A and B are shown apart, each in its own frame.
Chain A
Amino acid sequence: AQKITQTQPGMFVQEKEAVTLDCTYDTSDPSYGLFWYKQPSSGEMIFLIYQGSYDQQNATEGRYSLNFQKARKSANLVISASQLGDSAMYFCAMRERETSYDKVIFGPGTSLSVIP
């Protein structure tokens, strides 16, 4: 079973509009972390935002915010005021403890295209 699901293979958004990228996860570890990464066409992995499972408030980093709904096991990324440079693949990832060690696994990603 998929641990991390990103149901939107591709998304389009108009420049300057906000967009939400969906991520749902599955874990039995009570202490986990959630990440979002951006991968532009150049290939590098760029860290965007992190949310710990015990964090009381939703994480925010500039134009990025994470809509964390713990009971629904949902961690959607919201990008406000989209820019052309936001066009990229976006990956949701989760750190969880399995057996003795923490590991970090990724979802399949969402391709975002920003339209001028």
Chain B
Amino acid sequence: NAGVTQTPKFRVLKTGQSMTLLCAQDMNHEYMYWYRQDPGMGLRLIHYSVGEGTTAKGEVPDGYNVSRLKKQNFLLGLESAAPSQTSVYFCASSYSNGNTIYFGEGSWLTVV
């Protein structure tokens, strides 16, 4: 029972490099979310998706792009990584009016 799976778990990037974080869920959830977590700031919503092919901006979308080509996958892209994007990234999914949000284990990203 996989739930929400994030890859990679850890990554070190150089400033200016690009990368993609992949989130996959096997619960047939409509909604998927990408958050970043920084010390003292809780989880901040980057982008989210309400269904295949539909995405929306969250609280801190700048510097990130997303795509949801398949219902089970939600990709988070960093086109030109900056040290300010060093963070822990969490993916989550839920039903549209669900009373539970399921989280992945997190991805630790360091930009040097």
Contact = CB atoms under 8 A, between A and B. Distances in A.
A104 B101 contact: yes
Contacts of A103: 33, 45, 48, 56, 58
Interface stretch (B18-26, B64-72, B90-98): B90-98
Interface residues of B, number: 27
Contacts, number: 59
Where chain A touches its partner, the secondary structure class is: strand
A107 B100 CA distance: 16
A6, A43, A50, A102 interface centre (most CB from chain B within 10 Å): A102
Interface of B: 31, 33, 35, 40-45, 48, 50, 56, 58-59, 88, 90, 92, 94, 96-97, 99-103, 105-106
Interface of A: 6, 9, 33, 35, 37, 43-45, 47, 50, 52, 91, 93, 101-109
